[in-house]
Chain A
Amino acid sequence: DVKVTQSSRYLVKRTGEKVFLECVQDMDHENMFWYRQDPGLGLRLIYFSYDVKMKEKGDIPEGYSVSREKKERFSLILESASTSQTSMYLCASTPWGSIAGNTIYFGEGSWLTVV
């Protein structure tokens, strides 16, 4: 069974803290994504990566960075967390050559609260 695992499901962090959200996929997929999901706003792409050490900005990259040192792992970093970053974060992956959306797999989400 395919698996995208977000290790931290629920986090509470203080304003100004550095936050790491980790995502691991076991499907040997080349492409990985970080989305942010907010009520009434849908899913918004933060960053994506199409290969190790490669990254591209999505629609809302401000305040975030990413790291992809290994193919299976894609990390989202909040350098200095703010209350506006309280949200649910979704990681996803898809292989090269797939029709985007045809075989995209999502993790179960990481709920981040910044106080």
Chain B
Amino acid sequence: QQQVKQSPQSLIVQKGGISIINCAYENTAFDYFPWYQQFPGKGPALLIAIRPDVSEKKEGRFTISFNKSAKQFSLHIMDSQPGDSATYFCAARPGAGSYQLTFGKGTKLSVIP
């Protein structure tokens, strides 16, 4: 079964610190890797995404690092803020033309002052 393994399940970071969430996959047919951010009581919203032909993508304080050979990708949140406290999901698309995503199990991030 196609899977995306996400860790850690929960993360506590001091304000101003770096938050790092990791995901790993097995299916080499995955070709698109988005990250979603979900605040309590809300649905997930797309945060940032990367394709496997790129090793890094940065948008503001959020960076995805992608290691194709290791089949791993990670989300880095620089200068973490209390407003970043949310649940983060990594996901992967199983090939072009597919509308289904395989999601990781989520990481609950708490940024403390």
Contacts and interface: CB of A to CB of B under 8 A. Distances in A.
Given A101-B32, A108-B43, A42 B106 contact: yes
Nearest to A107: B43
Contacts, number: 59
A38 to B, nearest CB: 9
Contacts of B103: 42-44
Interface residues of B, number: 22
Contacts of A50: 99
Contacts of B100: 45, 48, 58, 100
Interface string B31-60: 010100000011111100100000000000
B9 to A, nearest CB: 7
Interface residues of A, number: 25
A106 interface: yes
Interface string B78-104: 000000000001010100001111011
Interface of A: 4, 31, 40-45, 48, 50, 58, 90, 92, 94, 98-104, 106-109
30 contacts: A31-B99, A40-B9, A41-B105, A42-B6, A42-B104, A43-B44, A43-B103, A44-B103, A45-B100, A48-B100, A90-B43, A92-B43, A94-B99, A98-B99, A100-B32, A100-B93, A100-B98, A100-B100, A101-B91, A101-B93, A102-B46, A103-B46, A106-B44, A106-B45, A108-B41, A108-B42, A108-B43, A109-B41, A109-B42, A109-B43
